[in-house]
Amino acid sequence: VRPADVAVADTLAYLRRALPPPPASVLEVGCGRSDLAARAQAIGYRVTAIDTDEAAVQYVRRTGVPAVHVDFHHHAGPPVDVVLFTRSLHHMPDLGAALEHARGLLTEGGRVVAEEFARELADRATATFVAGVEALLAAAGALEDGGGPEAPAADPWERWRVRHYPEGGHRLHEGGEMVRAVRARFRRVEVERCPYLYRQVGERLDETERGQRITQALADLERRLVESGSLRPVGIRIRAEG
Ligand SMILES: C[S@@+](CC[C@H](N)C(=O)[O-])C[C@H]1O[C@@H](n2cnc3c(N)ncnc32)[C@H](O)[C@@H]1O
């Protein structure tokens, strides 16, 4: 039981809508230490996973999925029906080059699917929600880092800025940049917005049943707040073809 199971189930529900039916072939780019590839394989997809992180590759191999330790830009393999970026597209140094490479890996009629985070869509309410949740979880002893290195910043918005726009930090792409780069290269593009914050908090909780219960409760709360218009969705999902 892992808090990440909540996020994997949420992603899988999206993939059931966004992917062609099994046994389509899928290349998961930036798999991380996740069970998503194994879960997709279990419902009939032919999945290969890649990551530049050796530990992530070892983890995914142990879940029974062929995984390769390689930088996406250097990955060459048989054509696939889907190139799936799971929170990895924003890391690609050159979005255009990454998307061109993805296109080159696709079968005729194949598609690119990306599940991402659009940090620029956050506002004060987002930051206040996250800071409140972190404070409660830290007080309850569930969040051991107590809000991370940014916690000393008292103002939630300042904390959000420090965390997501670190000075001199690795340049991560914003959601809008990713959508524009995809639209410039594919004819049919669908973009959805979705809850995301629960993933960031959930991945810092213990890998216990309690951690999973908290993550599920947080995911449900975020979804309800998004649906009622009280909180902006900061997750984005992109599906591109043609
Ligand atoms: C934010 S993590 C997402 C992990 C996992 N997919 C998830 O959703 O929890 C981004 C992952 O992309 C990987 N990554 C970053 N750049 C990459 C590249 N050029 N080629 C392959 N993997 C890459 C990182 O090592 C990391 O595991």
Reported as a pLDDT band with limits 50, 70 and 90, residue 162 is confident
pLDDT in tens, 192-204: 999 999 999 999 9
pLDDT: which is higher, 143 or 98: 98
Q: What pLDDT, on a 0 to 100 scale, did the predictor assign at position 212?
A: 95
3 Cβ closer than 6 Å to some ligand 1 atom = no
Q: Which of 12, 51, 116, 173 to mutate to test the pocket of ligand 1 (most atoms within 8 A of CB)?
A: 51
CA 147 / ligand 1 centre spacing (Å): 23
Q: Which of 33, 69, 91, 101 to mutate to test the pocket of ligand 1 (most atoms within 8 A of CB)?
A: 91
Nearest ligand 1 atom to alpha carbon 56: 27
Which tokens hold the place of 202? 């959930």
Q: Which residues contact 228 (CB under 8 A, 6 or more apart)?
A: none
101 Cβ closer than 6 Å to some ligand 1 atom = no
0.85 cut: is pTM over it? yes
Whether residue 78 has a cis bond before it, omega within 30° of 0: no
Among residues 158, 168, 6, 182, the alpha carbon closest in space to that of 85 is found at 182
Q: What pLDDT, on a 0 to 100 scale, did the predictor assign at position 171?
A: 75
CB 213 within 8 A of CB 1: no
